[in-house]
Amino acid sequence: MADAKLWAPRAWIAGRWQDAVLLSVDGSGHWREITSGVDTLQPDTTVLPGPVLPGIVNAHSHAFQRAFAGLSERRDNDADDFWSWRDRMYGVALRITPQQLRAVAAQLYVELLRGGYTQVCEFHYLQHAEDGRPYGDPAALSWAMADAAANAGIGLTVLPVLYERAGFTRPALRDDQRRFAGSVALVQKIVQAVGDARRPLVNAGVAIHSLRAASRASIIELMQCVGHDAVPVHIHIAEQTGEVDDCVAATGARPIEWLCRELRPDTRWQLVHATHATQAEIDAVATSGAGIVICPSTEANLGDGLTDVPRWLARGVPIALGSDSQVSRCWPAELRLLEYGQRLVRRKRNVAAAPKQGQPATAAHLFDTVLAGDGRTAGLTRWGLVPGARADALVLDLRASGLLGVPPLHALDALVFATDAPAFREVYVGGRRVITEGRHMEEAAISERFSEVMVELWGGSNGV
């Protein structure tokens, strides 16, 4: 692509709004230079129609679950929890084809762009054919998601998952988990294939499904294969109290406690959920340098519980956001729920604000915390509105009801706490505009194909 110049009336830089900002994009789609206070524009400069925020990384996604969102919100028995939800979710996992996955993922990725995400990390454990047999190409389902990401124009980090057993005391997978089997060798093959393909905006890391689903020996083998490469390493951890109890029974330690003691995670590691964490465990993660990924809408939907956000913030642990099961696909809504959960349990307001650190605004403190750790969750060395980072940008729509008439200083506050729907007028990824007037150019065709797939998956039935 050719060099380009974008000008914004305001942009969020270094933790505050700055005025009259010129953003120069180089030929590789990265920020060359960002300068505030520029009032005189050259003729070839594109004037953006609103204030600019950096894009956000969706650090935890299961794309195929977009086909299940909204289909589990009723119960026929006395109780419903994460584990019963999981058994029903397997219904779509067991029958979605690569072609259907591509259509579902494309719909999701357009929605994520509209919701302010410009990079998505796919925690990818759906690996094999419907009968559990390997595809001829081990990366077949990875390519389905990569094709969908290219169609949408979003960045993608593929995280093939080590997944080898059904539980601490169950050395094999259940039959309804047959598509998930992921050995160290398979993970390596997919990572290698994605790297060799050199697709634009696509890279790879590795993932471990959970401590219950992978042995200590296999996790160590995987990390030996990774070596010292600066690739992201993601793991589900301590999402459910039942998971914590099982880990204590099997190992004598809580999941995060065991992970930090036995595997010594470093700055490459992302602990997904980390819902049930003691103060000692939070301190151990902080010492390790690892980050956590919180998925507020999914954790609420599944009844997981609430993690100790103030403690994580106080210890300076990087926090990223994930859409996980896709019941919400908009990061302002995730930040709002993250804060509201803390308000409800503590009966206080503005829990995440940090006035003693010079940041009295809750939304700004949460946003900057997420932004600071976003790049490494996806294996990207730079992220945000800084030179050298990919040229991703979100242009706010000041005509949106939640932002209309709001004083400029409070725009981020209003976006998170007073706006009911995505309020991004334009979205740029790698210097290329992919959302215009809140819509994607391919939105109609992508939505039509998604609707067809939903009929293929669920038509003629009551769903699950």
Residue 243: its H or E element: helix 241-251
Tell which residue, 322, 290, 367, has the closest CA to residue 157.
Answer: 322
Give me the mean pLDDT over the 85-110 stretch: 96
Q: What 3-state DSSP class applies to 4?
A: strand
Q: In this model, does residue 109 exceed pLDDT 90? A: yes
Tens-digit pLDDT profile for residues 56-74: 999 999 999 999 999 999 9
Q: How much of the chain exceeds pLDDT 70, in percent?
A: 99
Contact (Cβ atoms closer than 8 angstroms) between residue 5 and residue 35: no
Tell me what pLDDT residue 236 has. 98
Inter-CA distances, 207 with 91, 120, 124, 463, Å: 23, 14, 8, 30
Q: Vertex 424, ends 42 and 142: CA angle to 5°?
A: 105
The structure tokens 């039959």 sit at 175
Confidence class of residue 76 from pLDDT cuts 50, 70 and 90? confident
Count CA atoms closer than 13 A to 86's CA, side-chain side: 12
pLDDT in tens, 433-463: 999 999 999 999 999 999 999 999 998 566 5
Q: Say how far apart CA 55 and CA 115 lie, in whole Å.
A: 10
Taking 70 as the threshold, does the pLDDT of residue 183 lie above it?
A: yes
- With a pLDDT cut of 90, the percent of the chain lying above it is 97
Largest CA distance in the chain: 68
Q: Give catalytic status of residue 273 as yes or no.
A: yes
Catalytic residue among 30, 62, 273, 276: 273
Instruction: Give the pLDDT confidence of 365-411 residue by residue, as tens digits.
Output: 999 999 999 999 999 999 999 999 999 999 999 999 999 999 999 99
Q: Are 342 and 306 in contact (CB under 8 A)?
A: yes
User: How many whole angstroms separate alpha carbon 326 and alpha carbon 341?
Assistant: 19
Fold type of domain 4-53+393-443? Urease, subunit C; domain 1 (2.30.40)
pLDDT in the model for residue 349: 98
Mean pLDDT, rounded, for 240-266: 97
Residue identified by tokens 């939903």 is 454
d(Cα 102, Cα 122) in Å, to the nearest integer?
13
Residue-wise pLDDT for 120-175, tens only, equals: 999 999 999 999 999 999 999 999 999 999 999 999 999 999 999 999 999 999 99
CATH of domain 56-377: 3.20.20.140
| Beta carbons within 10 angstroms of residue 241's beta carbon | 13
| Beta carbons of 117 and 53 less than 8 angstroms apart | no
**Catalytic residue list contains 324:** yes
Q: Report pLDDT digits (tens) over 294-311.
A: 999 999 999 999 999 999
What ranges do the domains of the chain cover? 4-53+393-443, 56-377
Which of helix, strand or coil describes residue 13?
strand
Mean pLDDT over residues 13-33, rounded? 98
How remote is the C-alpha of 438 from its chain's centroid?
A: 21
Do 425 and 415 contact (CB within 8 A), yes or no?
A: no
Q: Which of 7-16, 70-79, 184-193, 234-243 has the lowest mean pLDDT?
A: 70-79
Question: DSSP assignment of 293-310, as one string?
Answer: EE-HHHHHHTT-----HH
In sequence order, the β-bridge partners of residue 320 are: 293
CATH topology match: 4-53+393-443 vs 56-377 = no
| Residue entry with tokens 């190409």 | 137
Catalytic residue among 304, 308, 324, 374: 324
Q: What is the pLDDT of residue 282?
A: 98
In the predicted model, what is the mean pLDDT of the chain?
A: 97
pLDDT at 415 exceeding the cut of 80: yes
> What tokens appear for 204 in the block?
């790879």
Can you say whether the dihedral through the CA atoms of 295, 301, 302, 308 is positive or negative?
Answer: positive
Chain centroid to CA 368: 16
